[in-house]
Structure 1
Amino acid sequence: MHQSSATAVPPVPPPPPTSASERPRARAATRRPVDAQRFRGDIQGLRAVAVLAVLGFHAGLPFMSGGFVGVDVFFVISGFLITGLIDREIGRTGRLSLTRFWARRARRLLPATAVVLGAVAAITLIVLPVTRWPAIAWDIATSALYVVNWRLADESVNYLASDDAPSPVQHFWSLAVEEQFYVVWPLLILVLLWLQRRFRLSITRVLMGGIAVIGIPSLIWSIYLTETSPGPAYFVSTTRLWELAVGAALAIVAHRLPRLPVAWAHALGVGGLAAIAVAVLTYDSTTPFPGTAALLPTLGAAAVIAAGTVGRRTMADLVLDTPVMRDIGTLSYSLYLWHWPLLIAAAVMWGGDDGTLPVTTGVMVVGFSVVPAWLTYRLVEAPIHHAKLLVRLPGWAAVLGLGCTAIGVAAALVVSQSVPAPPSYAVTSQAQGAAVLDEDPDEDPDGEVVDSVEFITPTALEAPDDVARLDGELCISDIEGTELESCTFGPAGADTTVAIVGDSKMHQWLTAFQRIAEERGWRIVTYLKSGCPMISGDVRFEDDVNKDCTQYNESRYEALRDDDSIDYVLTSQVASQSYLGPDASDAEENDAMVDDLVGVWEGLEEAGRQVVVMLDNPNPSLDVMECVAEHPDELSECTFSRADREQIGGGAAQLPALERADGVSAVDLRDYICPRDTCPAVIGNVLVYRRGSHLTATYVSTLTPRLDEALMEVMR
């Protein structure tokens, strides 16, 4: 989301054609509408609508659950204004200067970006937990280079990043989409101009053809990818270009729209605002987006812009073209840049254990963001944008752009280099982790909560990467995708083959399973997928059905039943529920999960596989890793109640399913993870949890003897 100037330089009359090659330029110039250059107060007001929708959504206002569509409105506005500038330049001169185009974009957008990225770096170092610094450094760098949307798309399906807190520059994804459009679209226009001159075609038809080449495939891809991979679909440029193309098409045909009857303009304006309002008020996190759902706000924004091309005030202007809305629209770019980092910082300082802010606090923070936004606009954005020297000398604007980008990259380097070097601690042969606990851990003093220890391993900074592996490989499929992937370990002719099956809560035990397999000569085969417990029905994922998991489970279940070499199926799961539709209650979906688990387990037992269920570990109510980073000498601040949290994870379905399933055994190591009613963050100098409810691979490794003993008791 960002602005493009709604005020343009008065047109310069084109020179008379002196040769046949220049005649198409003159014909292009004669088609300019008389009001093409006029200031569009309604567009400034539409910017205000868009930014207020985004701010309300991010502040947590319940009646603006679809406020994220404000970004789509900005896409249409940007496509319209930028293409209008290009179209008018072609009309005046018959050509397009890439230098001047990109110089305008640089002086308009990059200075404010550099200021905010520098501020984000400072906020990160002062307010945010040190555990977030490495990831945020990468986020700032990719934001400065306008490719952060691709990084976010990758992380949306990345198992290692699935529990990460939101980045303070996450909102830069939309700016990245637009900047990538600003690179591709002018280059395509140069190609189209060559074709127009080479074959003496209509410039309007050629440009509309170019827009169709971008827009139609993008819309089709957006619909498809939203259905198949909703995480990446939200962020990647290819699913959003059609929205900018809608605005671009409108700019190309705008010279015909003044012929519309005024009554039509009134209807378009009001109808367009109504479409945006419906999306803002009715869409929410369950709405598949962008896909076809993005058509409503996108076409609504296009209708509002089209209504204003008649050159007369319409009914929509009673809302849009007012002093207050124009002022908000003027600040919209800076407001968008500033509000999100401030909300992230406020969530750390005043948010609950889950990191969320009360709505009233969120509204206050968003309101306060007007202050830095106004200062940035008055002191940086407007003065540089209108600097006469930079207007006359586009080369200097390019230098300015490079400097601003360098500031963003430098800010990222500062954050990266500020990350403290981790101590060189490692688990030694001395008793550490779960190894310090005796046979009755609930009575062992080593299981008590303490405020400080001599050292902690892994450190909070190392913990995000302290992930289980099998022979060096992760061996778990991402959330997205349906392909059945598997890892094998151990001799092919082993007497015992064990299938490790489930989601990330089963995956966390791989390190221990490898050590046991090595000692006992087992062969291991894995069928693991993040966010996908092994059941026969649908799994809920972010308030919707995880269709990829459903398809994956069909293949996984068939593979387990068909492979007669498998003797044991060891499985566990995280806090997932069956999906019964948007109106089903948690209790109903948990009951369905129990039914599905019983059916799958008993089906595998009937096929000759002994099923062993590993009970899920207690799920923390806070981010233990970040808490330990902030309170290394007050570890009691990082505890949680086992009684309150034990049934929130997979155990909510596992325990009742085990009571009903015939022949299914269970392994319960929860007492060695949380020995008392209050779960400690560190046991035996080892950090228990890494991110979310997942155990560190180091702590799991110390549980290997206990796991081996428990397995020998139930395997028959």
Structure 2
Amino acid sequence: MPAQPRMAWLDGLRAVAVLLVLYAHVSRYVLTDVRAFTAEWLHAGPAGVMLFFLVSGYIIPASLERHGSLRRFWVGRAGRLLPLYALVSVAVVALGFFRPADPVTATVAHATMVPFLLSEPLATPVFWTLAFEMVFYLLVTSLFAVRLHRADAVTAVLLTVAAVITAPLAPQAIRTPYAALVLAAGLAAVLSGRRRVVIAGAMVLGGLALALVTAGGQPSHAWDGLLIVAVMFTGTTIHRADTGQTGWWPVAIVAPVVAAGLLTNWFAELASLDALTPRYMARSVITLVVFAGAFAVGLLTRRWRTPSWLAGLGMISYSVYLTHYVLLLVMRPLLVHDAAVIAYAGTVLIVSWITHRYVELPGQRWARRMSDVWEKPGRVPPSHASLRG
């Protein structure tokens, strides 16, 4: 059987994740009868984003370690995420869906990509997940700079224990101007290439990440903010075992610990809402089983050929994720019959293919060119090369 390009099984998982999120959002307006049943037993949206987080945890640190360069990593992340993120942000403002009371603060907050963890209104609700992705990147950067990047299993366990002990968090304490300045200073230091400066910057970024996830954000994730990051480090732990860097015993420890932490805090949140009923407890368990089980199935069948339509959807999943909610707002007046979901889904796929082709891919090509120019022989200080490990 000929090999598929890229890691097609991960694209397949991204497709499953984005379909779960898409269903969670569109079923508020159509397919409501289906939602009335499924919502009693499954949190489709959280299952989808948790699957995204697992995939990110699996692949992102591996990309950094493969190149051994924090410069290349951050330039690559910028080229991958920022162009479409900026386009969607501008679009929601132009369409009148986002009118912040303080445009300057809103712009600065969104430029950091962590507005959700700065208690700022979001241009579009789906941006909240990118804030946790950024926290993960900052922590990975910090660990890599001090040569502790293989401590993912320990990090996942520590985050889980901290999450259970400290929940619920009391967020909304980080202010945008200070966070933006710290982020800019930390990234500038990390990109400098001078080892001592890089380490200092990385420590600043790691501290900022922990502050954001514990003292920033919205009450909606006061119970599981730290656990989201623990889920991503679980994905990294799985990657190391899957590629032979470690045995599978760390996964056998980390996965149950993080799963137990999730259920503990989800149940505690239900109790705080006087909703700790057998049905809602079952829904929490099923949600966990769905995203963890989907990842396990993908991992176990990764050598099988992923259906081309599923892999294709996964390749444009970032575009689908960022554009689908804007299109939902635009097309909402038309979503009066269940059959309208076909027109909506078709529109999302067409727009997402266009944005992937003409926004995402050029951004990625730019990032590769910039990285190659920046790291030509003779332009990278020896101290920067010494960060490999």
TM-score (norm 1): 0.35
Secondary structure of the 1:39 match is: coil
- More RCO (CA 8 Å, sep 6+): 2
Contact preservation (8 Å) 2:15, 2:317:
yes
Work out the CA distance in 1 between the residues paired with 2:165 and 2:341.
Answer: 35
Aligned mate of 1:105, from 77, 84, 95: 77
**SS state of the match for residue 369, structure 1?**
helix
2:241 and 2:319 mapped to 1: Cα distance?
Answer: 30
1:168 offset after TM fit, Å? 5.4
**Is 1:244 the equivalent of 2:232?**
yes
Matches within 5 A, 1:467-478: none
AA aligned to 1:57 is A
For 1:240 and 1:246, locate their aligned partners in 2 and report how far apart those are by CA, in whole Å. 10
Cα deviation digits, residues 204-231 of structure 1 (max 9, x gap) = 5x4433343335434x3697569xx994
Report 1:316-355 matches (<5 A): 321-347=306-332, 349=333
Q: Indicate which of 382, 387, 390 corresponds to 2:370.
A: 390
User: CA 1:217–1:297 in 2, change beyond 3 Å: closer, same or farther?
Assistant: farther
Partner of 1:188: 143
Between the aligned partners of 2:356 and 2:282, the Cα distance in structure 1 is 32
Q: Does 1:209 align with 2:160?
A: no
1:19-34 aligned at under 5 Å gives the runs none
Identity of aligned residues (%): 26
Per-residue deviation, 1:85: 1.8
Amino acid at match of 2:153: M
Query: CA separation of 1:335/1:298 partners in 2, compared to 1, >3 Å: closer, same or farther?
Result: same
- 2:10 is aligned with 1:43: yes
Match of 2:347 in 1: 368
Is the CA contact (8 Å cut-off) linking 2:168 and 2:222 kept in structure 1? Answer: no
Instruction: Call closer, same or farther: CA 1:369–1:223 in 2, change over 3 Å.
Output: same
Matched letter for residue 44 of structure 2: G
Q: Which residue of 1 aligns with 2:111?
A: 144
C-alpha displacement at 1:308, in angstroms? Answer: 4.4
Larger Rg: 1
Look up the equivalent residue of 1:346 and give its one-letter code: M
Q: Cα distance, 1:381 vs. partner?
A: 0.6
- Please report how far the alpha carbon of residue 289 of structure 1 lies from its aligned counterpart in structure 2 after TM superposition: 12
Say which of 119, 126, 132 aligns to 1:177. Answer: 132
> When you count strand as a share of all residues, which structure comes out higher?
1
Aligned counterparts of 2:330 and 2:222: Cα–Cα separation in 1: 24
Shift of 1:241: 0.7
CA-to-aligned-CA distance 1:12-39 (integer Å, 9 cap, x gap): xxxxxxxxxxxxxxxxxxxxxxx9x983
Distance in structure 2 (CA, Å) of the matches to 1:332 and 1:306: 19
- Cα RMSD (Å): 4.0
- CA gap of 1:179–1:114, structure 2 versus 1, over 3 A, is same
C-alpha distance in 2, partners of 1:121/1:235?
A: 31
How many residues align? The count is: 286
CA distance in 2, matches of 1:241, 1:141: 24
- Aligned-pair CA distance for 1:294: 5.5
Mapped to 2, the partners of 1:292 and 1:379 lie a distance apart of 40
Q: Within 2, Cα distance between the matches of 1:346 and 1:83?
A: 38
User: Distance between the aligned counterparts of 1:88 and 1:134, measured in 2?
Assistant: 41
Correspondence for 2:99: 133
Distance 1:222 1:171 in 2: 26
8 A Cα contact 1:149 1:237, kept in partner: no
What corresponds to 2:263 in structure 1? Answer: none
The question of whether the paired residues in 2 share the 8 Å contact of 1:103 and 1:395 is answered with no
Q: Deviations over 1:555-599 (max 9, x none)?
A: xxxxxxxxxxxxxxxxxxxxxxxxxxxxxxxxxxxxxxxxxxxxx
CA deviation after TM superposition for structure 1 residue 345, in Å: 3.0
- Alpha-carbon deviations, 1:390-447, whole Å to 9, x = none? 2313589xxxxxxxxxxxxxxxxxxxxxxxxxxxxxxxxxxxxxxxxxxxxxxxxxxx
Does the Cα contact within 8 Å between 1:216 and 1:242 map onto a contact in 2?
A: no
- When residues 38 and 246 of structure 1 are mapped into structure 2, their CA distance, relative to the original with a 3 A threshold, is farther
Query: Residue by residue, what CA displacement relative to the aligned partner does 1:333-374 show, whole Å, maximum 9, x if unpaired?
Result: 001110101212333x557xxxxx654445533431222211
Q: Residue 292 of structure 2: which of 299, 302, 305 is its match?
A: 299
Matched residue type, 2:77: R
Q: TM-score normalized by structure 2?
A: 0.62
Give the partner amino acid of 2:73: F
Query: CA, structure 1 residues 58+216, in 2 after alignment: closer, same or farther (shift >3 Å)?
Result: same
Show the counterpart of 2:62: 84
1:239 CA drift (Å): 3.7
Select the structure that is richer in helix: 2
Deviation at 1:332, TM superposition (A): 0.4
Confirm or deny that 1:56 pairs with 2:23.
Answer: yes
1:527-563 deviations in Å (ceiling 9; x for gaps)? xxxxxxxxxxxxxxxxxxxxxxxxxxxxxxxxxxxxx
Distance, in Å, in 2 between the alignment partners of 1:149 and 1:142 is: 9
Aligned residue in 1 for 2:195: none
- Between the aligned partners of 1:392 and 1:104, the Cα distance in structure 2 is 11
1:213 maps to a residue whose letter is L
Instruction: Tell me the CA shift for residue 88 of structure 1.
Output: 3.4
Is there any run of 5+ residues in structure 1 with no aligned partner, and where?
A: 1-34, 90-95, 156-166, 194-202, 261-284, 352-356, 397-716
1:243 Cα offset (Å): 1.5
* Residue 183 to residue 394, structure 1, CA distance change in 2 (3 Å): farther
Q: What is the CA–CA distance in structure 1 between the aligned matches of 2:60 and 2:124, rounded to whole Å?
A: 24
Residue number in structure 1 paired with 2:380: none
Deviations 1:665-695 (A, max 9, x none): xxxxxxxxxxxxxxxxxxxxxxxxxxxxxxx
Distance (Å, rounded) in 2 between the aligned partners of 1:330 and 1:75: 16
Match of 2:44 among 67, 71, 89: 67
* Cα 1:307–1:343 shift into 2, 3 Å: same
